[in-house]
Amino acid sequence: MKKNLTAWLCLLPAIAFLGVFMVYPLVDVLIYSFEEGYNFASQTFWGTGLYNYSYVLHDPYFIQALKNTFIIVIITVPLSTGIALLISLELSSIKALRDFFQTVYFLPYVTNTLAVGLVFMILFKKTAYSDGLVSLLIQLFGGPSVDFIDGPYWAKMFVMCFYTIWIVMPFKILILTSALASVNPMFYKAAEVDATPKWRIFYKITLPMISPMVFYLVITGFIGAFKAYSDEVALFGTDLNAAGMNTIVGYVYDMLYGNSGGYPSYASAAALILFAIVFTITTINLMVSRKTVYYQ
């Protein structure tokens, strides 16, 4: 009994912190999402039900945010993982300059977000003085002038995805190069003796052996992309609804603190919808992984 008490005492700080900062807010969010007409000032509401969910799902801003988030997820997660894998493969097959390239590819990870934002502005933003570097290049080849930051939707989405891929790449390369290095070279020798073509060595040996790491990157990639918000703000400013580039997390934030803020019920409902989406996708991922991922 005394032993038990000591154990509980040791656990208490962690339980207290988790309870106050994790469990309580989670429960609170759940409750908020079912309270209709909640008033922030008087802390009162006039009923319970599913109205908040209905409102959010019919809100065009939320639909736009949902669409944006899904486009970002579907484009950036496979592309960033694929490109990172390609770069890692090249990195592990070269000898000369490997350290140099590893540093180059890792730089975005340690670069200040504001500096990155500035560079992207120079590349893409149309100002009174310049059309932006990329736009100038397009014009050089006879294309039209494109404003990537305040212009058409596809142009903004392109910059958004480009930025997201670029910002998540270093971490993925870091993980994948170390995963590749951990594959026993003996397997490659065995495959070489058996006249295995290069692509087959990759597909049949390398990929299965690093599959746990790839899977880890895909799952965290999905979750990270669904929670995208700050990168959007860095590129398009705080009024994401006006720019048409809002995301689900952005919508939640706006509902709480934005110009039209003060609606914790709507924000909670939107957050729980996001949770349901992420949960579903992760479950699907886990189910797929059971067949394709090999753990040593």
Partner 1 sequence: MKVVLEHVTKRFPNRNKKIKEYVIAVNDFDFEIPDGKLIGLLGPSGCGKSTALNLICGLEKPTNGRIFFGDTDVTELPPQHRGVGLVFQNYALYPHLTVRENIRFPLENFRGDKKLSKEEMEAKVQEAARLVQIQELLDRRPNEMSGGQQQRVAIARALVKRPQVLLLDEPLSNLDARLRLQTREELKRIQLETGITTVFVTHDQEEAMSICDTIVVMKDGVLQQMGEPQKIYDEPVNLFVASFLGTPQINTFTGKIRDGKIYIGDSAVLDAKGHADEDVYVSIRPEGFVVDENGPLECEFLNREVMGRDTSYVARHPLFTGENIRAIIPSEVISTGKDGKIRFSLKPSKVHVFDENTTERIIL
Nearer to partner 1 (CB atom), residue 98 or residue 227: 98
Fill in the DSSP letter of residue 126.
-
From CA 253, how far away is CA 263, in angstroms rounded? 10
Element housing 23 (H / E)? none
Residue 263 to residue 37: CA distance in whole angstroms: 9
Amino acid at 150: D
**Cα 227 from Cα 253, distance rounded (Å):** 12
Selected binder of partner 1 within 21, 24, 187, 279 (CB under 8 A):
187
CB of 182 to partner 1, least distance (A): 13
User: Using CB under 8 A, which of 37, 49, 197, 237 touches partner 1?
Assistant: 197
* Run of H or E including 17: helix 2-18
- The answer to the question of residue 192 lying near partner 1 (CB under 8 A) is yes
For position 296 contacting partner 1 by CB under 8 A, the verdict is: yes
* CB environment 25-54: b (16+ within 10 A), e (fewer): eeeebeebbbbeebeeeeeeeeeeeebbbe
x/- map, 199-218, partner 1, by CB under 8 A: -x---xx--xx---------
Q: Which is nearer to partner 1, 211 or 238 (CB)?
A: 211
31 binds partner 1 (CB under 8 A): no
Nearer to partner 1, 44 or 182 (CB): 182
User: CA-CA distance, 233 to 230, in Å (whole number)?
Assistant: 5
CB nearer to partner 1: give 155 or 209: 209
Q: Which is nearer to partner 1, 85 or 245 (CB)?
A: 85
Q: Give 13 or 185: the residue with its C-beta nearer to partner 1.
A: 185
Q: For residue 6, state whether it binds partner 1 (rule: CB under 8 A).
A: no
Under rule CB under 8 A, residue 26 binds partner 1: no
SS3 294: coil
User: Where does this chain bind partner 1 (CB under 8 A)?
Assistant: 184, 186-187, 189-197, 200, 204-205, 208-209, 294, 296
